[in-house]
Amino acid sequence: MIPRGFDYFSPQTLEEALALVAEHGAEAKLLAGGHSLLPMMKLRLAAPGVLIDLGRISDLRAIREEGEQIVIGAMTTHAEIEKSGLLRRRAPLLAEAAAEIGDVQVRNRGTLGGALAHADPAADYPAAVLALDAELTLVSQRGTRTVAAQDFFVDLLTTALEPGEILTEIRFAADGPRTGSAYLKLHQPASGFAIVGVATRVQLDSKGKCEATAVGVTGVAPKAYRATQVERALKGKALNERIIAQAAGKAAAGVEPLSDLHASARYRKAMAEVFTRRALALALERARRRQ
């Protein structure tokens, strides 16, 4: 279908974009890679009268180190994240998740900020940013605020973004020694979206015991979540296959799994356990190699 007609703006700076957002209010939508918004407009599930394209704001497209932190601009594409040498070296989890998104065309156009703001329950990044304990920077003409990933995803397709706000960047700590991560996913064969996706980070202490784990799960529930019962079951333990398998049994504890034409709730719950177990085992192996 053809979308409804709209006015198009292409600001060159964040300040210009914020002014446009404030001026046009609820009538306006931000445009990033367009890979979620444009299909919705064509189906007339979204019909904004104004599109504000963030594509020319070069400040929003960067991956950099700030001390021990990694900072990524919202307009950075999936392909740039996937191929970033800095990320592969210092904090590979997000790059591993980016490599799993859609196909080459989607990865070349789609952006980190667009994917997070869209908050699709089957999107890959939410699991990774939860496991990374990332912080998201939201800017409006009223000021700047920082929101933890845990508080950003509110519900299906719903985030903590308020009217007039633009997500400008995310930041998280680079991996320290004895830290390993992994993102594993069961793909929906046609779209590539996650039926289940599990992002894990495992940190070992100097004796090789589990100091901390973080487990982010996408695809299973209306919004991505941290599997806190799994994390608690592993803390302080000398990890092995049996302990990981026992803990992974709690991967969907406390959530009501989705059921749709792609997978039943029971299947999603079972796959959450399987992929949590596999992702933890891989992250543990990588943590042991990273002294």
Ligand X SMILES: Cc1cc2nc3c(=O)[nH]c(=O)nc-3n(C[C@H](O)[C@H](O)[C@H](O)COP(=O)(O)OP(=O)(O)OC[C@H]3O[C@@H](n4cnc5c(N)ncnc54)[C@H](O)[C@@H]3O)c2cc1C
Residues that bind ligand X (CB under 6 A): 29-37, 39, 54, 74, 101-102, 106, 110-111, 113-115, 117-118, 120, 123-124, 161, 166-167, 191-193
Closer CB to ligand X, 102 or 249, in the complex: 102
CB of 176 to ligand X, least distance (A): 27
Closer CB to ligand X, 46 or 173, in the complex: 46
Identify whether the C-beta of residue 136 lies closer than 8 Å to the C-beta of residue 147: yes
- Closest listed residue to residue 86, CA positions, set 174, 212, 179, 11: 174
Closer CB to ligand X, 166 or 239, in the complex: 166
Read off the tokens for 228. 């806190």
Concatenate the DSSP letters of all residues of 104-129 into one string: HHHHHH-BHHHHHHHT-TT-SHHHHH
3-state secondary structure of 8: strand
Closer CB to ligand X, 156 or 238, in the complex: 156
- Closest listed residue to residue 96, CA positions, set 66, 124, 138: 124
Taking CA atoms, 3 is separated from 51, 53, 118, in Å, by 12, 16, 19
CB of 102 to ligand X, least distance (A): 3
Gap between the Cα atoms of 175 and 202, Å rounded: 10
CB of 34 to ligand X, least distance (A): 4
CB of 245 to ligand X, least distance (A): 27
CB of 191 to ligand X, least distance (A): 5
Radius of gyration of the chain (CA): 19
3-state secondary structure of 247: helix
Closer CB to ligand X, 42 or 232, in the complex: 42
Residue 155 half-sphere exposure toward CB, CA atoms < 13 A? 0
Closer CB to ligand X, 32 or 210, in the complex: 32
Closer CB to ligand X, 2 or 45, in the complex: 45
CB of 178 to ligand X, least distance (A): 29
CB of 167 to ligand X, least distance (A): 4
Gap between the Cα atoms of 215 and 127, Å rounded: 8
CA of residue 204 relative to chain centroid, distance? 24
Read off the tokens for 19. 């002014």
